Amino acid sequence: MDPVMHSFDPPERFVAGTVGAPGQRTFFLQARAGRNVVSVALEKQQVTVLAQRIDELLDDLMQQGGTTGLIPAVAPLDLADDGPLEQPIDEQFRAGTMTLSWDTPDERIVIEVYPIDTAPEDVPDATEEPAVGEVLVVRLTAASARAFVARAQKVVGAGRPDCPFCGEPIDPSGHLCVRANGFKRRG
């Protein structure tokens, strides 16, 4: 069976977003090109790490100076995207392994997202392709990648506030703070 590849090169829109109230949110990566929209569910930590790694990769490329194109230090204002996720949100799969790379000839960030139950395996024979059921592949310019990072950081930060004592999230009804000997703090 051939893998189902959802390829966006480049996407018209690639964002991280959520559905639900803080504390009950489901996180999604969503890519769109024309009428083709793919939504992949993932964990908050995966969004955080993906944004951090993209930022680090672009910072490293800026320092090395090995590119001919411009790599912006911050997200360009004209690429800011604060709009809601495209509707309807149909979860294609739940993200497991994600890979991140830089395509030097095209000067693009390449993000590959595999379902939680499958991932590319080490293949001993270089002519053999890994067996993968489904994959989301998104290729972004450096500017679009910075815009993705800015939105992802905003989305992750829009959740419940952290307790200043223990660092755990505070629900609207409060939480039992272990550092305050079980005293219930209100948000």
With residue 115 as reference, give the H or E element that holds it: strand 108-115
The DSSP call for residue 121 is -
pLDDT at residue 67, rounded to an integer: 78
Q: Which of 126-135, 157-166, 170-179 ranks highest by mean pLDDT?
A: 157-166
Residue 128 has pLDDT above 90, yes or no: no
pLDDT at residue 143, rounded to an integer: 95
pLDDT tens column, 131-168: 558 999 999 999 999 999 999 999 999 888 888 888 88
Burial 145-172 (b: 16+ CB within 10 A, else e): bbbbbbbbbebbeebbeebeeeeeebee
Residue 11 has pLDDT above 90, yes or no: yes
pLDDT at residue 123, rounded to an integer: 45
User: Taken in order 25, 140, 97, 49, is the CA torsion positive or negative?
Assistant: negative
Band of residue 14 on the pLDDT scale cut at 50, 70, 90 = very high
The mean per-residue pLDDT over the stretch 82-110 comes to 95
The mean per-residue pLDDT over the stretch 7-25 comes to 94
pLDDT at residue 124, rounded to an integer: 47
The DSSP call for residue 139 is E
Percent of the chain with pLDDT over 90: 60
Residue 93 has pLDDT above 80, yes or no: yes
The mean per-residue pLDDT over the stretch 121-137 comes to 64
Band of residue 182 on the pLDDT scale cut at 50, 70, 90 = low
CATH number given to 4-161? 3.30.2450
